């Protein structure tokens, strides 16, 4: 009798596990997710759009008023960021005489949310250069230099390194702001399985992208309480249809460049780091320093992961002094 009871109990447990597993597999597909849908109306007065191979990029331009253009600067945001990340810095750089273009990477800001985009840094680099070519055509004859200063924050730091490797002759200098230059966690086969990927999308769209979560996210990155305007500046584009689906695609295809390849890269490099950055430690720079002993490092006192937002004046001073060295 006892053995029979044990067998019955065992079968019951197996059935319960099977039901739970089946629910885990099926349930995320029953929770609705938004699909990418854009009308590409200009969200800012200085917004522009350009389409590259069917993917529309949003970018913003800040240019000097009644001044000769000193140089051209590209600003690329980090994970979950957008051109809003440079809302304070970009116009200040323009006041110093620079033509400044801040750009939303695919899947972020007000750029398209393609579900089959290759988010490797190499592919991003190629597409961003194509965006810049359209700008260069507009500026032809208005500025003597053909090169660009490339500045990238966090994940965007990896993008501009890839850009310099792709077209070194068009890169005047690199400005890495608290950059994430390496793949800190390798893509997992389990995480790319359909049920896990679907749960990832559901979690982002229905649970993570809330005002309270973004407030905590920014508070940790800033090292201070964010303002309501800052929270809304990040949250608004993240709530656009298709963001969760696009981020899932990014997880599957993201790949950083091998920093060993920067050994012979001619562009000079400035690294700006927030003194109190708890998101990306200064040790992240070690693999680059191992192959490039000429990297100039500037620490912004009191800043966290986003010095260009929380310590704009100090970041501006460091960047301007650097950019003017390479006219």
* Rounded Cα gap, residues 150 and 129, in angstroms: 11
53, 114 contact by CB (below 8 A): no
Rounded to the nearest 10°, the torsion over CA 85, 83, 40, 120 is -100
pLDDT on residue 297: 98
Q: For the chain, which residues make up each domain, given as ranges?
A: 1-30, 47-323
Q: What SS3 class is residue 210?
A: coil
Least confident of 41-45, 103-107, 139-143, 249-253: 139-143
Q: Which residues is 271 bridged to in the sheet?
A: 176, 297
Query: Which residues, 6+ apart, have CB-to-CB distance to 222 below 8 Å?
Result: 230, 304, 305, 306, 309, 310
pLDDT tens sequence across 196-215: 888 788 888 888 899 999 99
The enclosing H or E element of 30 equals helix 2-30
Stretch 242-268: mean pLDDT:
91
pLDDT tens sequence across 172-205: 999 999 999 988 654 455 556 778 888 788 888 8
pLDDT tens sequence across 78-123: 999 999 999 999 999 999 999 999 999 999 999 999 989 999 999 9
pLDDT on residue 29: 77
* Rounded Cα gap, residues 80 and 156, in angstroms: 11
Q: How far is CA 301 from CA 34, 52, 152, in A?
A: 41, 40, 19
Q: How far is CA 158 from CA 140, 192, 264, in A?
A: 28, 23, 17
Q: What average pLDDT does the structure give for the chain?
A: 90
The enclosing H or E element of 131 equals helix 121-139
* Residue 296 pLDDT grade (very low, low, confident, very high; cuts 50, 70, 90): very high
The pLDDT of residue 236 is above 90: yes
* Rounded Cα gap, residues 222 and 305, in angstroms: 6
77, 109 contact by CB (below 8 A): yes
The pLDDT of residue 2 is above 60: no
More confident residue, 137 or 7: 137
DSSP 72-128: EEEEE--TT--GGGGTTHHHHHHHTTEEEEEEPPTTSTTS---TT---BHHHHHHHH
Strands 55-62, 98-103: parallel, antiparallel or unpaired by DSSP? antiparallel
CATH code given to domain 47-323: 3.40.50.1820
């Amino acid at each position: 009798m006892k053995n029979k009871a044990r067998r019955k109990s065992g079968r019951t447990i197996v059935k319960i596990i099977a039901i739970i597993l089946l629910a885990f597999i099926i349930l995320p597909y029953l929770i609705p997710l938004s699909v990418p849908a854009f009308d590409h109306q200009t969200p800012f007065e200085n917004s522009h759009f350009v389409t590259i191979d069917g993917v529309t990029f949003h970018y913003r331009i800040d240019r000097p008023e009644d001044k000769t253009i000193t140089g051209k600067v590209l600003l690329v945001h980090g994970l979950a960021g957008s051109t809003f990340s440079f809302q304070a810095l970009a116009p200040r750089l323009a006041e110093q005489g620079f033509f400044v273009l801040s750009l939303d990477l695919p899947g972020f800001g007000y750029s398209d949310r393609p579900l089959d985009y290759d988010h490797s840094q190499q592919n991003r680099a190629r597409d961003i250069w194509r965006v810049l070519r359209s700008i260069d055509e507009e500026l032809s004859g208005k500025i003597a230099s053909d090169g660009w200063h490339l500045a990238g924050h966090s994940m965007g730091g990896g993008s501009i390194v890839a850009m310099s490797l792709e077209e070194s002759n068009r890169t005047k200098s690199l400005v890495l702001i608290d950059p994430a230059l390496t793949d800190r966690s390798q893509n997992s086969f389990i995480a790319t399985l359909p049920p896990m990927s679907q749960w990832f999308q559901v979690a982002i769209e229905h649970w993570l992208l809330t005002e309270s979560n973004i407030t905590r996210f920014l508070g940790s990155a800033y090292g201070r309480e964010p303002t309501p305007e800052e929270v809304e500046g990040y949250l608004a584009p993240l709530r656009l249809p298709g963001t969760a689906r696009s981020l899932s695609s990014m997880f599957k295809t993201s790949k950083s460049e091998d920093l060993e390849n920067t050994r012979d890269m001619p562009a000079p490099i400035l690294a700006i780091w927030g003194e109190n950055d708890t998101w990306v430690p200064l040790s992240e720079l070690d693999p680059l320093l191992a192959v490039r002993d000429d990297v100039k490092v500037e620490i912004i006192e009191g800043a966290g992961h986003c010095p260009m937002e929380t310590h704009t004046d100090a970041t501006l001073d460091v960047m301007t002094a650097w950019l003017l060295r390479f006219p």
